[in-house]
């Protein structure tokens, strides 16, 4: 037995304390990991459901209800952005964010639309909502781009006509609450419903891209395509504008949506 006030005893007590604490912390991290992963997945599913407006108005869904509604209504498909085709037998664990970081699985973002991010993945998940006859009712696509402080990640649901926005949600960002963080404000989000992405009656091509955030309140014809910016958050608003234009351009989901529209025989 070491004397209580000896140097060796002090070291021994500190060592035991450190080992016990580190075991507790790492044990908790390992034990909670699956729960964190499930919550992250649930949050994404909740946002997809919200963008698509699949839940009853204003109803708060439990985790189980989110999982059930998602499984019943949403079909994820891995999309090759270059070809506009789905990737057959896709690995459900495919992570587009990881793919965007590696040069062999991503493309550099250049040209007209700057989203403040250097590269984007070549393949990404899109989500289809179908009716009982298997016809596409909505396509939900992921969008992201730089705001003021952070990259904002969200989803845009495009309606059956493959032109009209059905909903927009952001599920991850680091913008200031009350300023750029107002991208999450339900009133602002609801303003996107019904906005047209391309000029009415014109081909879904870059020269006809009209969707975006207005500088000031959108007036006249622009109100069909634009939502007013967030006050005190011009930079975040500009980020939302750029990312919508980029992701619906020929470099983003444009070719895929054109292809879907011609397969569906959409009127224009
Ligand atoms: C503490 C602090 C946080 C801010 N957060 C944001 C933000 O999240 N998004 C944003 O666009 N601007 C933010 N701003 C304001 C920007 O610095 C900039 O002034 C603003 O985007 C200009 O917009 P305005 O012309 O609408 O005032 C913040 C400013 C301060 C001082």
In the reported structure, the alpha carbon of residue 214 is separated from the centroid of ligand 1 by a whole-number distance in angstroms of 17
Q: Looking at the CA of residue 180, tell me the nearest atom of ligand 1.
A: 8
Domain residues for 46? Answer: 38-264
User: Higher pLDDT residue, 258 or 264?
Assistant: 258
| Per-residue burial over 74-83, b = 16 or more CB atoms within 10 Å of its CB, e = otherwise | bebebbebee
- 76 within domain boundaries: yes
Q: Looking at the CA of residue 235, tell me the nearest atom of ligand 1.
A: 11
What is the reported pLDDT for 218? 80
In the reported structure, the alpha carbon of residue 241 is separated from the centroid of ligand 1 by a whole-number distance in angstroms of 16
Number of domains comprising the chain: 1
What is the reported pLDDT for 220? 85
pLDDT interval class at 5 (50, 70, 90): confident
In the reported structure, the alpha carbon of residue 140 is separated from the centroid of ligand 1 by a whole-number distance in angstroms of 30
- Region 206-221: mean pLDDT is 89
In the reported structure, the alpha carbon of residue 130 is separated from the centroid of ligand 1 by a whole-number distance in angstroms of 40
- 12 within domain boundaries: no
- Region 83-111: mean pLDDT is 94
- Please report the DSSP string for 136-200 in residue order: EEEEEEEEEEE-SSSEEEEEEEEETTSSBEEEEEEEE--PPTTTGGGGG-HHHHHTTTT-BSB-T
- 10 within domain boundaries: no
Quote the CA–CA distance of 10 and 33 in Å, as a whole number: 35
Q: Per-residue pLDDT for 214 more than 80?
A: yes
Q: Per-residue pLDDT for 267 more than 60?
A: no
| Per-residue burial over 170-191, b = 16 or more CB atoms within 10 Å of its CB, e = otherwise | bbebebbeebbbbbbeeebbee
Quote the CA–CA distance of 15 and 13 in Å, as a whole number: 5
- Region 99-108: mean pLDDT is 95
What is the reported pLDDT for 7? 87
User: Higher pLDDT residue, 150 or 36?
Assistant: 150
- 177 within domain boundaries: yes
Mind listing the pLDDT tens digit for each residue in 78-94? 999 999 999 999 999 99
pTM greater than 0.85:
yes
- 205 within domain boundaries: yes
Q: Per-residue pLDDT for 216 more than 90?
A: no
Q: Looking at the CA of residue 237, tell me the nearest atom of ligand 1.
A: 11
Quote the CA–CA distance of 117 and 100 in Å, as a whole number: 10
The two structure tokens encoding residue 3: 């004397």
- Region 23-52: mean pLDDT is 91
What is the reported pLDDT for 58? 67
Measure the CA dihedral 222/224/230/235, to 10°: -60
């Amino acid at each position: 037995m070491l004397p209580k006030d000896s140097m060796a005893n002090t070291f021994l007590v500190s060592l035991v304390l450190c080992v016990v604490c580190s075991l507790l912390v790492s044990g908790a991290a390992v034990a909670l990991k699956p729960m964190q992963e499930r919550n992250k997945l649930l949050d994404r599913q909740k946002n997809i459901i919200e963008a698509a407006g699949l839940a009853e108005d204003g109803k708060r869904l439990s985790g189980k209800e989110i999982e059930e509604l998602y499984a019943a209504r949403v079909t994820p498909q891995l999309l090759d952005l270059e070809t506009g085709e789905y990737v057959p037998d896709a690995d459900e664990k495919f992570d587009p964010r990881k793919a965007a970081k590696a040069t062999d699985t991503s493309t550099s973002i250049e040209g007209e639309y700057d989203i403040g991010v250097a590269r984007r993945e070549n393949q990404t998940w899109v989500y289809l909502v179908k009716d009982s006859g298997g016809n596409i009712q909505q396509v939900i696509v992921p969008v992201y781009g730089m705001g003021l402080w952070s990259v904002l990640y969200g989803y845009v649901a495009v309606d059956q006509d493959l032109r009209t926005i059905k909903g927009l949600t952001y599920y991850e960002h680091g913008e200031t609450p009350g300023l750029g963080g107002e991208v999450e404000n339900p009133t602002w989000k609801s303003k996107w419903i019904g906005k047209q992405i391309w000029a009415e009656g014109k081909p879904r091509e870059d020269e006809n891209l009209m969707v975006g955030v207005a500088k000031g309140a959108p007036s006249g014809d622009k109100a069909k395509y634009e939502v007013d910016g967030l006050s005190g958050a011009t930079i975040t608003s500009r980020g939302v504008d750029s990312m919508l234009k980029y992701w619906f351009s020929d470099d983003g989901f444009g070719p895929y949506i054109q292809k879907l529209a011609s397969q569906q025989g959409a009127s224009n």
